[in-house]
Amino acid sequence: MDKDDSLTKEPGVQQPQYRIDDLTPREIVTELDKYVVGQDDAKKAVAIALRNRARRRELSAELQEEIYPKNILMIGATGVGKSEIARRLARISNAPFYKVEASKFTEVGYVGRDVESMIRDLVEIAVNDVREYQMEECMEMAESLAEERLLDLLLPAQHPSEVEAHEGAEVSSESHDAMVARLHETREKLRKKLRNGDFEDRVVEPEVRERTTSVMGFIPGGPGMEEIGIDLQEMLERMMPSRKKRKRMTVAEARPFLEQEEASRLIDMDAVVREALDRVEELGIVFLDEIDKIVGGEARSGPDVSREGVQRDLLPLVEGTAVFTKYGVVRTDHILFIAAGAFHASKPSDLIPELQGRFPIRVELQSLTQRDFERILTEPKNSLLIQYQALMETEGIKLEFKENAVTAIASLACQVNRETENIGARRLHTMVEKLLEELSFNAPDMDEKHFVIDETYVQERLSVLVTDSDLSRYIL
């Protein structure tokens, strides 16, 4: 069968491009290398899992149903790249992606969210993504329609028949044609000025739809109650008549508002929902962070029972079940689940056996070395130092980091991680922020437009904080 048959849509329905068909595992790893330093085993595992999705879509429909995603369990300390790998994987594949901490959920009967809410949130994300894509596709037409509405607001339409009624006399065919031509000419002159930006500050009064009063504040908390609140809100919106009011705003303010409104009218929401549900079922990725936090101990009552209960509630989702959402029923059989945890106080084998079996691929992420820290500071496309250099450029300051400064920052970060809590690469954010605190504060008033950070400056700003264990705990 054709590789896109499993996601066939109605003729004319635009849909986002699926990149998983075009990327080999090696190319996926190369993309991940641009943002995540090291952790080659984890990158390889997720690249294979992603590629297998493309391979599955090449098979017959009967065989596709038999092939389930190989869920992944990432094991590693905080700040080593688990979340970043999963997030970048979703962006590479253009797939619906939802990250959630497993500790947010509790067993049914305990206070907290129910596990099925993660699938509802994933569907909501997919619907929003597809809707935005569809709106972008029809934005050219929406801009044209919004322009016509702005012209109507600037020059209220005067049809010849309206003029005739106002003047109380019949308009001859010849004068009728002349009036139409004159109105058209006036409108086109206004259009030209509108496009030139001559009316940006002119105040207009477009009609806007009033918001329906939210019922969420009246719904008591508890498992599943937020979904009930959403359903009640939608029912209320359908029952209450749509009311509009005029709102004063400038043309510059009204234009994007009208463009969004026209784009929303042009798209077919039924087609958007069908597309989103298919994307979730075929391409959805759920990242379950802190899964080690729901590993129970030996106690058989209290919170430990609740933690094990969360695992048992998760099991049907990971195995494959039907989840009811406000957009329709979603099957979770082919959603890829990536779980992650530090497992400091527990180990993966402490998970219930049934859940362990549903995460057949295990990868252990390595702790970061000083060399890794140096690479993290400089190599990724969105590296921390590049971000701060860009921020300083907005103040007209060229910020330069010497190589020995990068080495010094990495060395001090490793030292603090060893002597206090090891939070991995997240320590670098704290270190660099503290390093540049004074510069960031004084930047708008500085006459010097070229500032160099070297090893001496790093030691002056950070060495005292690092060597004083009490200061390190509270400041770094």
Q: How confident is the model at residue 21 (pLDDT cuts 50, 70, 90)?
A: low
At residue 106, the pLDDT reads 64
The alpha carbon of residue 115 and the mean position of all alpha carbons in its chain are separated, in whole angstroms, by: 20
173 band by pLDDT with thresholds 50, 70 and 90 = low
Confidence class of residue 230 from pLDDT cuts 50, 70 and 90?
A: low
d(CA 287, CA 95): 12
Q: How confident is the model at residue 234 (pLDDT cuts 50, 70, 90)?
A: low
pLDDT at 432 over 60: yes
pLDDT tens column, 91-101: 887 888 888 88
Residue 397 pLDDT > 50? yes
Q: How many CB atoms lie within 10 A of CB 336?
A: 25
Instruction: Choose among 70, 13, 42, 20: nearest CA to 366.
Output: 42
Q: Name residues whose C-beta falls within 8 Å of residue 98's C-beta, 6 or more positions apart in sequence.
A: 118, 121, 122, 125, 284, 285, 286, 287
pLDDT of residue 8: 35
Least confident among 66-75, 111-120, 374-383: 111-120
**Which residues have CB under 8 Å from 56's CB, separation 6+?**
64, 67, 334
Closest by CA to 53, choosing from 391, 335, 461, 472, is: 335
The answer to whether residue 7 scores a pLDDT higher than 50 is no
For range 442-448, the mean pLDDT: 83
249 vs 440 pLDDT, higher one: 440
* pLDDT on residue 10: 39
Question: Given the structure tokens 């253009």, which residue do they identify?
Answer: 94
The pTM (predicted TM-score) of the whole model is 0.73
In whole angstroms, what is the distance from residue 75 CA to residue 71 CA?
13
* pLDDT, averaged across the chain: 78
Q: How far is CA 166 from CA 158, 163, 278, in A?
A: 11, 5, 56
Greater confidence (353 vs 469) lies with 353
Distance CA 337, CA 207 (A): 45
d(CA 408, CA 459): 8
Q: Is the pLDDT of residue 265 over 90?
A: no
**Is the per-residue pLDDT at 271 higher than 50?**
yes
Residue whose token pair is 């905080």: 78
Residue 102 has pLDDT above 60, yes or no: yes
Given a cut of 70, whether residue 171 has pLDDT beyond it is no
pLDDT computed for residue 299 by the predictor: 45
Helix (H, G, I), strand (E, B) or coil at 36: coil
The pLDDT value recorded for residue 6 is 35
CB 348 within 8 A of CB 305: no
pLDDT of 13 reads 42
pLDDT surpassing 90 at residue 111: no
End-to-end Cα, the chain, rounded Å: 57
Residue 437 identity (one-letter amino acid): E
Tens of pLDDT, residues 175-225: 767 777 777 777 788 888 778 877 777 877 777 766 555 544 444 544 455
What pLDDT does 122 receive? Answer: 92
- Determine contact, residues 334/342, Cβ cutoff 8 Å: no
Residue 476: pLDDT band with limits 50, 70, 90: low
C-beta neighbour count of 258 within 10 angstroms: 24
Under the banding of pLDDT at 50, 70 and 90, the label for residue 277 is very high
CA torsion, ordered 403, 404, 409, 411, to nearest 10 deg:
120
- As a whole number of angstroms, the distance between CA 154 and CA 126 comes to 38
277-290 average pLDDT score:
89
* Structural contact between residues 6 and 65, judged by C-beta atoms closer than 8 angstroms: no
pLDDT at res. 471: 63
Residue 108, both tokens: 């049914």
Residue 135's contacts (CB-CB under 8 Å, 6 or more residues apart) are 142, 260, 263, 264, 266, 267
Task: Evaluate if residue 276 carries a pLDDT over 70.
Answer: yes
- ∠ CA 173-179-180, nearest 5°, is 90
235-244, 306-315, 385-394, 426-435: segment of lowest average pLDDT: 235-244
Bridge partners (DSSP) listed for residue 324? 329
Task: Give the Cα separation of 4 and 243 in Å (integer).
Answer: 42
Residue 18 clears pLDDT 50, i.e. is over it: no
Q: Are 55 and 23 in contact (CB under 8 A)?
A: no
* Burial tier of 263 (Cβ tally within 10 Å: 0-12, 13-18, 19+): buried
Mean pLDDT check: name the lowest of 155-159, 380-384, 388-392: 155-159
- pLDDT (0 to 100) of residue 19: 55
The predicted model gives 231-239 an average pLDDT of: 60
**pLDDT value at position 415?**
84
Least confident of 154-158, 171-175, 184-188: 171-175
Residue 3 has pLDDT above 60, yes or no: no
* 382-403: average pLDDT: 89
What structural domains does the chain harbor? 5-134+271-364 (3.40.50.300), 370-466 (1.10.8.60)
